[in-house]
Amino acid sequence: MTLKTAIVTGAARGIGLATTRLFLAQGWRVAMIDRDTSALKDAAKGLDGAHAVACDVSVPDQVDAMVQQVLDHFGRMDALVNNAGIADFRSLADTDFAIWRQVMAVNLDGVFLTSQAVIPHLKQRGGAIVNIASISGLRASTLRVAYGTSKAAVIQLTGQQAAELGEWGIRANCVAPGPVDTKLALAVHSPEIRAAYHDAIPLNRYGTEFEIAEVITFLCSDRASYVTGQTIAVDGGFDAVGVGLP
Ligand code: NAD
């Protein structure tokens, strides 16, 4: 039996690493992509069926070279998880243009470039794309001008992909996680933000990387064969209750 292959960006830690582990447990092979070369090497150690490729998803030449390396190694690709991302919690007034550009380059350009490079290969036998947005892309706040805007754009880009790629049997969906205790969240969630999230989330806690990965791998699988163009908030109920972002 030919095993399916997924490309997971931002796979060296956090949600991307959990997604890699879950794919492997479900019998997939995984191309682990990250720009942090040493963390990537450590993360891939001992993971049977995984192949690590260093790449900054915001750099077009690196993305093209990465896709070629994945093809050379696995010979096929069936799913793309656009997970690599960076966070910045600042107001409009406090966000320098350089920071704005940096966030857009990784969170939005990275999804665009990687998708564009992978899609011709997905078209050969159909497949799935899952883009990782955030509840910050669903709600406005005073603190996330670049991050929230980049994630809202990822949600729209997902719809564009679903509309354009359905005729090739390619599904595109988006996962919008609530807060998860990863390095990214630890860097931007102050004690006040943490406390406010705990109060605002009906399940009264942060999510885990594996709770997000479960939904990502489901959306990539044939079990989700009639699901496309959707954004699924995996957020302990935060989006449903309509409280503002802390
Ligand atoms: P993380 O910081 O733990 O992991 C992100 C990984 O992406 C890192 O290994 C990093 O090296 C890699 N990366 C960053 N920029 C890259 C680039 N240009 N090219 C290649 N790799 C790059 O973060 P995480 O919490 O696991 O976040 C994963 C995704 O989930 C992000 O898109 C993030 O915005 C989203 N998200 C996270 C949370 C949360 O609370 N943790 C909430 C909502 C959405």
Please identify, by atom number, the ligand 1 atom nearest to the C-alpha of residue 179.
Answer: 40
CA of 72 to the centre of ligand 1 (A): 26
Name the percent of the chain lying above pLDDT 70: 100
Distance CA 106, CA 82 (A): 10
What pTM does this model have?
A: 0.98
Cβ–ligand 1 distance for 35 under 6 Å, the answer yes
> What does the CA dihedral 48, 53, 58, 60 come to, rounded to 10 degrees?
-130
Whether the predicted pLDDT of 238 surpasses 90: yes
Q: Which atom of ligand 1 is nearest to the CA of 136?
A: 43
Q: Whose CA is closest to 131, among 36, 239, 237, 228?
A: 228
Q: Which two tokens stand for residue 147?
A: 């991050």
Kindly state the percentage of the chain with pLDDT values over 90: 97
Asked whether the beta carbons of 157 and 211 are under 8 A apart, the reply is no
Residue 243: pLDDT band (50, 70, 90) is confident
Residue with tokens 């209750």: 241
Task: Please tell me the residue having the least CA distance from ligand 1 atom 2.
Answer: 184
pLDDT tens for residues 159-216? 999 999 999 999 999 999 999 999 999 899 999 999 999 999 999 999 999 999 999 9
Atom of ligand 1 nearest to the CA of 135: 43
Q: Is the dihedral of CA 47, 52, 56, 59 positive or negative?
A: negative
Name the closest-CA residue to atom 23, ligand 1: 184
SS3 114: helix
Is the shortest distance between the CB of 63 and ligand 1 below 6 Å? no
pLDDT number for residue 244 = 84
Among 42, 113, 144, 182, name the best residue to mutate to test ligand 1's pocket (greatest count of ligand atoms within 8 A of Cβ).
182
The whole-angstrom separation of Cα 130 and Cα 137 is: 15
Classified as helix, coil or strand, 230 is coil
Position 1 pLDDT exceeds 90:
no
Residue 242: pLDDT over 90? no
**Residue 21 pLDDT:** 98
Q: Exposed (0-12), middle (13-18) or buried (19+): which is 135, by Cβ within 10 Å?
A: buried
Residue carrying structure tokens 């992509």: 33
- From CA 200, how far away is CA 239, in angstroms rounded? 10
pLDDT on residue 2: 80
Residue 9 Cα to ligand 1 middle (Å): 9
